[in-house]
Structure 1
Amino acid sequence: MDELLEQFLVEGPEQVQQASDALLALEDTPDDAGLIDQAFRAIHTLKGSVGLFDLPAMGQVLHVAEDLLGAWRDGRLPLSRPGVDALISATAQTERWLGALAATSGALPADAGEAAAHLVGRLRRFLGDDGPAASVGTTLPADTAWIEDLFRTRGLDPARHPTLTALRYAPDPGCYFRGEDPIALVRRVPGLVALRIGRAGDAVAPPDDVYDPYACDLVVEILSNAAPDAVRAPFRFMPDQIQVVAWSPPPAVLAAVAPPAPMIADTVGRTLRVDSGRIDALAELVDELVVTKNALSDLVAQMTGPAVGAATGGGEAAVRSLGDRQAALDRLVGRLHRTVMGIRLVPLLPLLRRFPRMVREMATALGKEVDLAVEGQDVQVDKGVVEGLFEPLTHLLRNAVDHGIELATERTAQGKPVRSRIVLRARREDDQVVIEVTDDGRGMDPARIRRAAAERGLMPARALDALPDDQVLDLVFRPGFSTAAAVTDLSGRGVGMDAMRAAVGRLGGSVGIDSTPGQGTTVRLVLPLNLVLARVMVVSVNGERYGIPMDGIVETTRVAGDHIRPIRAGRAFVLRDAVLPLLALADLLGLQSGTAAPSMPEGGDARRAVVVRVGGERVAVEVDAFIGRRDVVLRPMTGLLRAMPGLLGTTLLGDGQVLMVLDVPGLIDAIPGPSREAES
């Protein structure tokens, strides 16, 4: 990909976001001239950047958008809500085009011209110009056959140039004596696509030997991808000498021009902007590691030399010296881990800023009035988390707007404000980040969820009746709940929620729901700050070692065998006055066949268990042994294993063996319905 285009694809989305932020804020403070200036500067910068590339559709839209903002800024036109709507649509389309450019290494979609024409027409209506009017000079013929001929002879691609502005310029013969320079005026035409200079009545350039330098008899023909007003602007003092026409290739031209060779797509490299101070800190750590490595090398040389005792002061002193070097190396590696974690941390701001416009567009399409408040934009998390959160958050916000928020008439009947409110909130808690989506809509009715779950056979009716309301809400994450009927009966909260939780689980996170009927719903995502570097508890099961993330462990415990009691098809025990279900990690992993009810321990044999939180409830998972804690570099699963529930990734241990890092809540959620009765 061209280096200039790569830079544009980095800076372009930032300019789009600045314009979108300013336009959304204008709805609340329409008299804020600073916001209009901010939007104008962003659009103007974008338009200038687009002019460096052959992107006529995007250039046309941005040019007219800039004209409208300029009219508002200068006070020539009053700001209007429909006009803001049109500009927000233009920024949204520009963002989609930028995504297409990144995916195709510089090509807009085939329908870009059609989309641009629609947006340009919509924006121009607010400028009081429904269409480009041709200004035809008296000395120029009125026919436009020359446009089609110029388009054909220059071999232009109609897919890339679906709409053009054609200009024919016949300078006055005495223009030279007035100090006019026709060629200099032509150079000022923006978006130049094709140019032909000939003599009056000729289609070819005049030979030098017959050109009269004192009388101008030239005719200049131009095709441009800029708007008609922009093309006409350099010739505003000579309107009688130009002909300007908005033109689209007719079917005959489309058939005559062969389609271009397909562009070979190139994968855009993912980039990460890093503060220079973090790089400097990393370089200093590398220097210290090199010094420590050299010290270890010297020590090894001394210990393997002919006079080990004299050189090292004896075996005990050598061991102490080696231990000191090991401790120093441990400290440096720990600092290196923390520094690398800091480098991978990026702010949530760019992600969260994308949602206000999206929510507004969805609400407008549904005839609802919704305000989205975003909090915690300064929180920083691993870039892998940021990249993986867009789809889950989009799904949650779509559900909130489409199914959680009531229509205006329903809200009025309930005494609620017509304009609803959704809060997207992010905060950091220790080594985790918590993201909440809260709405003030109709909430979720546990009774309806119970009825729908019973109809679909997710659980027996008696078990459903015994479930507390907060655990009933967790049923919407079951795959069987993602049905069309759930949209009607349950406000759509269950549609796709299993896929959303699976996506969050692949990031090492968990999902929970709190809801009050008639008041609203909160969906809470809890995710690790870092995906690559993790701290895990290594446990042993059936002679195999597995890792469990420390941030998902509530505590570890030992349970006496005679304290474990059978409950339905499973087991449970009491821990500090709370009954916890006890599941065997070996059963969750399918390492032993077992029976419907796991065998009970005999006598007072103690069982080791890891207590984790699943759907807001604590669950104990039995293991054979605790081996210890490790700081590991986590490698995510790839290929067929990527979608496997219960696996976060792998890491290498010091002895070279591969350690599987488990998503224990994901393993428990994957248990079939009847088998989960013991947990409930």
Structure 2
Amino acid sequence: MMDELLEQFLIEGRDLVAQAQGDLAALARQPERRDVLDSLFRAVHTLKGSVALFDMAPAEGLLHRAETRLDHARRNHAQGGDAPLSVPDLTALVAVIDQVDRWIDLLERDGSLPADAEACAAGLGIGLNGALDGPDEGAVSVREPGPDAPEPPRRDAAEHIPAWLEATMAQAPSFGQAATAFRYVPDADCFFRGEDPLAVARAVPDLLALDLSFPPDAPGIDDFEPFRCVLRIVGLSAAPQDRVRAAFRMMPNQVEVVALGAPEREDKNPAGDVGDVPMEPGESGGMLRVSATRLDVLADEVGQMAVALNALEAAVERAATSDRVLAAELRRVQGALAGSLNRLSSTVAEVRRVPLQPVLRRLPRLARDLAASLGKDVRFVLSGEGVEVDKQVADAIFEPLLHLVRNAVDHGIETADARVGAGKPASGTISLSFRRSGDHLAVKVSDDGKGIEPVAIRRAAVGKGLIGTKEAAALTDRQALRLIFAPGFSTSRSVTGVSGRGVGMDAVQRAVERLQGSIEIESAPGRGTDIAIRLPLNAILTRLVTVRVGDERYGLRMDQIHETLRVDAAAIEELGHGRACVIRDRTVPVLSLAALLGHAEGLEQVRAGNAEADWARLVVTGASGERIALRVDAVGERIDAAVRERSGLLAAMPAIGGTTLDADGGVLLVLDLPELLS
């Protein structure tokens, strides 16, 4: 079982790596951003303190060098410099953070750093030291102010400032912005209560500076107990005193808060003050750590409530045939419950939402590593990673995105010589962007590479036996592009460590479909490729429409349906080897859902005397990439349901996207239209 302290470090360390990577990317775009530079310094400083708790001396030393370089840059900026970090500086810092990221992964896997860690740290440190005016002191602590540090506040100007605060203010260029200072001395047994002192301190609003140290009487390494906290945390914040106190409302006896510019309150037990601070929604002091398993259970219960509400709706319809007054009362209750369920579902969905940034932290580094191994010059641009999505989406999105990025580096971006020969910059660009679009997440992976030739796709698909020559010739270019998602498809002529096995893009499509999303591809030969993914932000309840085929009922996802309609059966005509009808001035193929599901009889064999024989009910979908009408026997109600991923015997059945409980307690199969129509 993993050590609890190590497990917490793996989470916190990776969060800090993600923050540093994001700040470095922001500084590459806007080098003059002092706030981002300060944020990067804090991330590196905190990360250095975190790795010091483990056998990661090379990482600690390397991060200290990075911290020294950043401190030098901050001083330079304070003296009027516009761009404190040059391009070589940023490149060196990116390499350092990437390497620390790798070491964290190795620590989790092997329990220690590799034998060459010291040599690797020394090599990376050369790039950092080159920009410094003087040699690196090599010390771990940064509490002592350097020669260029701002002069400490004069005693005659601020008599109330305690001694523990002077060193921090002396070394913090952001002191001029500070409104409040705090000293947080966590209880020695805080780890046993599930408290995280670093997370508590970092949650202080408008944090400007943070300094970690050990007390003078801290035990030596031989007597050190990893489960006892001996930290002393001093920080500066731009927030007012009451908001800083609110962040420590759960441990008021462990913190001293000083309002800068006003007399210090020597209140050793500020519990009464904390109680007067309102606990606003979203305020950092009101954060609680909740097990992800408990959130999953809560989401499941919301799904069960939706099933019960659907059953109540059916009961109301039955009651209406015998007692209209009772039915009216039940409808009123049903409406109130539906409103409560919607609000509860929305609240649970908000609680389950997490930022994408920690999930994506490894992608830039992996893209750079892969490009270097292939001898390509690639620039990776990430935007919108701060958007929040459902935990289920965040947990599952990394693998498909990794496949897409690897595919873009391997197949999309050309070598530098080939790009220059084609009149392009030697460096290729891969961009990954995220944005909210209504109740969906829009993801786009783009590259400015060679694009995809539909002719080559057709040839490769025929060569691998995925389709016949005549079928390939009949495909439009858009349909041909979707062949890259077919199982076993690959344009590589040989298997390498990167590609050639034909599993990448198929895995992407299956992962997206499991998340109830859709994927589209567009490409221009010579100019690049765009892949767009659309995923629901709320993964708790899914809007379904029920359809009947013979005696069976199925569920179809509403986001895969353009419309449902009833047309004259005579309007469906034979066309080539199939059938079609005109819908809104557009010819649309018509397929029998009964035939696709293997039913012996469908609507085409209507019993004689049926008054509905002259009408056809159609469900129009674009799940296959092209608009298609599915003919069904009947279109039923629309319901909100918790769709479970198919498992057991159903896992081997094609075209089944999942299951949910019907209003009568039975199992309703939810069809996977993209797979059914592929």
The alpha-carbon deviation at position 474 of structure 1 amounts to: 1.3
- Correspondent of 1:508 among 502, 516, 526: 516
Contact 1:553 1:610 in 2 (8 A): yes
Residue 433 (str. 1) matches residue 441 (str. 2)? yes
- Correspondent of 2:581 among 565, 573, 580: 573
Q: Percent identity?
A: 45
Structure label with greater radius of gyration: 1
Over 3 Å counting, the alpha-carbon distance change for 1:569 and 1:550 in structure 2 is same
The alpha-carbon deviation at position 631 of structure 1 amounts to: 1.0
The alpha-carbon deviation at position 464 of structure 1 amounts to: 2.3
Q: Secondary structure at the match of 1:326?
A: helix
- Correspondent of 2:543 among 524, 535, 541: 535
Residue 552 (str. 1) matches residue 560 (str. 2)? yes
Equivalent in the alignment of 1:152: none
Counterpart CA distance in 2 for 1:193 and 1:640 is 56
Residue 667 (str. 1) matches residue 676 (str. 2)? yes
Which amino acid letter does the alignment assign opposite residue 17 of structure 1? A
Equivalent in the alignment of 2:51: 50
Counterpart CA distance in 1 for 2:340 and 2:531 is 40
Over 3 Å counting, the alpha-carbon distance change for 1:59 and 1:470 in structure 2 is same
> TM-score, length-normalised on structure 2?
0.63
Equivalent in the alignment of 1:611: 620
Residue 625 (str. 1) matches residue 634 (str. 2)? yes
- Correspondent of 1:520 among 518, 522, 528: 528
Alignment of 1:193-204 (within 5 A): none
Counterpart CA distance in 1 for 2:71 and 2:382 is 29
Residue 92 (str. 1) matches residue 98 (str. 2)? yes
Which amino acid letter does the alignment assign opposite residue 94 of structure 1? V
Q: Secondary structure at the match of 1:437?
A: strand
Deviates more, 1:533-542 or 1:431-440: 431-440
Which amino acid letter does the alignment assign opposite residue 660 of structure 1? L
Equivalent in the alignment of 2:456: 448
Q: Secondary structure at the match of 2:23?
A: helix
Counterpart CA distance in 1 for 2:585 and 2:494 is 37
Contact 2:490 2:502 in 1 (8 A): yes
Equivalent in the alignment of 1:183: none
Equivalent in the alignment of 1:282: none
Over 3 Å counting, the alpha-carbon distance change for 1:14 and 1:514 in structure 2 is same
The alpha-carbon deviation at position 400 of structure 1 amounts to: 1.5
- The number of aligned residues is 498
The alpha-carbon deviation at position 336 of structure 1 amounts to: 1.9
Over 3 Å counting, the alpha-carbon distance change for 1:317 and 1:400 in structure 2 is closer
Counterpart CA distance in 1 for 2:605 and 2:328 is 48
Q: Name stretches of at least 5 consecutive residues in structure 1 with no aligned partner.
A: 102-106, 134-185, 196-273, 280-285, 294-314, 670-680
Give RMSD over aligned pairs: 4.3
The alpha-carbon deviation at position 22 of structure 1 amounts to: 3.1
Q: Secondary structure at the match of 2:511?
A: helix
Equivalent in the alignment of 1:383: 391
Counterpart CA distance in 1 for 2:518 and 2:109 is 38
Over 3 Å counting, the alpha-carbon distance change for 1:118 and 1:30 in structure 2 is farther
Deviates more, 1:630-639 or 1:495-504: 630-639
Counterpart CA distance in 2 for 1:577 and 1:341 is 40
Equivalent in the alignment of 1:41: 42
Residue 125 (str. 1) matches residue 134 (str. 2)? no
Contact 2:594 2:601 in 1 (8 A): no
Residue 496 (str. 1) matches residue 496 (str. 2)? no
The alpha-carbon deviation at position 72 of structure 1 amounts to: 5.9
Q: Name stretches of at least 5 consecutive residues in structure 2 with no aligned partner.
A: 77-83, 139-213, 224-280, 289-297, 306-322
Counterpart CA distance in 2 for 1:27 and 1:121 is 25
Over 3 Å counting, the alpha-carbon distance change for 1:494 and 1:522 in structure 2 is farther
Over 3 Å counting, the alpha-carbon distance change for 1:592 and 1:117 in structure 2 is farther
Contact 1:486 1:494 in 2 (8 A): no
Q: Secondary structure at the match of 1:442?
A: coil
Q: Secondary structure at the match of 2:589?
A: strand
Contact 1:476 1:497 in 2 (8 A): yes
Counterpart CA distance in 2 for 1:492 and 1:330 is 51
Contact 1:24 1:357 in 2 (8 A): no
Alignment of 1:168-567 (within 5 A): 275=282, 320-352=328-360, 354-482=362-490, 484-485=492-493, 496-567=504-575
Which amino acid letter does the alignment assign opposite residue 92 of structure 1? D
Contact 2:390 2:538 in 1 (8 A): yes
Q: Deviations over 1:153-191 (max 9, x none)?
A: xxxxxxxxxxxxxxxxxxxxxxxxxxxxxxxxx998999
The alpha-carbon deviation at position 437 of structure 1 amounts to: 1.2
Q: Deviations over 1:563-595 (max 9, x none)?
A: 33345554333322323222333343344499x
Residue 653 (str. 1) matches residue 662 (str. 2)? yes
Counterpart CA distance in 2 for 1:378 and 1:40 is 20
Residue 585 (str. 1) matches residue 593 (str. 2)? yes
Counterpart CA distance in 2 for 1:35 and 1:335 is 37
Contact 1:351 1:390 in 2 (8 A): yes
Over 3 Å counting, the alpha-carbon distance change for 1:394 and 1:520 in structure 2 is same
Equivalent in the alignment of 2:14: 13
Which amino acid letter does the alignment assign opposite residue 589 of structure 1? L
Which amino acid letter does the alignment assign opposite residue 674 of structure 2? P
